[in-house]
Each structure stands twice: as C-alpha cells, then as structure tokens.
Amino acid sequence: MEPFISLTGSAVPLLLDDVNTDQIAPADRSHGHGADMKATLFSRWKAGDPNFVFNRPQFQEPRILVSRDNFACGSSRESAVWAMTANGIRCIVARTIADIFKENCLRNGMLTIELPADTAKDFEDKVIKADGAKHFTVDLPSQTITCPDGSKIAFDVTPAEKTALLEGLDDIGQTLKHKADIQAFEARIKQEKPWLQEAVARQ
C-alpha cells in the first residue's frame, strides 16, 4: 500500500450531509472490466448539474475532499475510494464518516479526518475562501492541516492507523503473522464445534 505522509494541494468543498457511495461511484460506472475509475467519480451529479463543484475549473485536480456528516454512507463498494484516488484525492476531511468507507480508505492509503463541529466549521470556511486557488497541507506525522493563511488545525488519528498509513503497512501481512494462532483456533473449534469447521450439504 502506498504510504501517506504529507500532501499539499487544493481542497474541494462538498458541504452536504449523508453523501452516499451510490453518488460517489454510481454502480453502472464502477464495475466490470476496465471501468474508468476517474470518470466514475460523482458521474451522475457531474452530468446532472453544470454548477456541481467537481465541474468547476478550479476543482479539476483536488487532493482533499471536504464534506459534512455521515460522509460515504451506504454501499460497501470500494470503488468509492478508487474513484477518488484515481482523481488524485488522498485525504477526506468531514465532520463524521461512515465506518465501512473509513476502513476501505485505510486499506488504500487514504487519510480520513473527522473534525468536531466547531473546528469543522472554521475549516470549511477556509476551504470556501480558498476556492481551489490556494493550497492546504495535510501532515500526518504532526497531525496538522496547514491552511493558506498559515493557521494550523490539529486532528486526531489512532496510533495504529497513523502507523499503518505512514508505513503503508500491508493489512493482510499483519494478520498472516498470526497464522499459527488461526490454525490453533481452527483445531480447537474442530474439536468443540465440528459443524462450524465443515460446511457441506448434509441433507
């Protein structure tokens, strides 16, 4: 996985609650062979509204997406993350973010930041003011966002997720270090509850 350490770039404001993954990556565009992940991102909203923020010239190459509550709720489709990374977005800042999407981001080197409402409001105002022209820097080691006016916003991240992102850790590899534990667990269950360790049509 590509590590996340620091990024600098423009921030696109999508200041809505409950933006769902059906909007981020519409199903008809995000599956199948050779799906164009770059074109998938918000394709319905882009097609339906010429004033949609992603249609505006200053937001063609954003690195940070800013939204409000319950961002990326709905379907577990990982294409919602891939559609963003295909467009260069590597960081989501929102008031709250849906759980499955957060997990999917973590496994794709995408930093998710949840800000408390007061801080979020302040940050959103700065993003609106910057209007895509001025850049923000998100720095994971120091856990700060530096705004165009030089002000800094601190954010929380768990130590485990910070390490995973900074080092680009392979999630599967981490679990496979415990392969012997998994096999011991299986052997024990096979004794105690054999029906769980064999799954065949019996009747």
Closest CA to 40 of 86, 75, 109, 90: 86
Q: Over 7-52, what HEC string results?
A: EEECEEECCCCCCEHHHHCCHHHHCCCCCCHHHHCCHHHHHHCCCC
The answer to the question of residue 29 lying near another protein (CB under 8 A) is: no
Nearer to another protein, 57 or 195 (CB): 195
Closest CA to 109 of 169, 64, 156: 169
Collect all residues with Cβ–Cβ distance below 8 Å to 99 and sequence separation of at least 6. Answer: none
Nearer to another protein, 51 or 203 (CB): 203
Residue 86 and residue 77: Cα distance in Å, rounded? 15
Stretch that binds another protein, among 50-58, 125-133, 141-149, 180-188 (CB under 8 A): 180-188
Stretch that binds another protein, among 66-74, 83-91, 129-137, 145-153 (CB under 8 A): 66-74
Residue 82 and residue 30: Cα distance in Å, rounded? 9
Tell which one of 7, 10, 23, 94 touches another protein (CB under 8 A). 23
- Maximal C-alpha separation, the chain: 70
Q: Which residue matches tokens 């415990």?
A: 178
Report in angstroms how near the CB of residue 82 gets to another protein at its nearest: 9
Tell which one of 40, 104, 111, 127 touches another protein (CB under 8 A). 104
Nearer to another protein, 136 or 155 (CB): 155
By CB under 8 A, what part of segment 68-97 binds another protein?
69-70, 73-78, 81, 96
Residue 50 and residue 55: Cα distance in Å, rounded? 6
Q: Which residue matches tokens 């601190």?
A: 154
Tell which one of 168, 181, 187, 190 touches another protein (CB under 8 A). 181
By CB under 8 A, what part of segment 119-178 binds another protein?
158, 160, 163-164, 171-172, 174-178
Using CB under 8 A, list all residues that contact another protein.
16-18, 20, 22-23, 26-28, 31-33, 44, 47-48, 69-70, 73-78, 81, 96, 98-100, 103-104, 107-108, 158, 160, 163-164, 171-172, 174-179, 181-182, 185-186, 189, 193-203
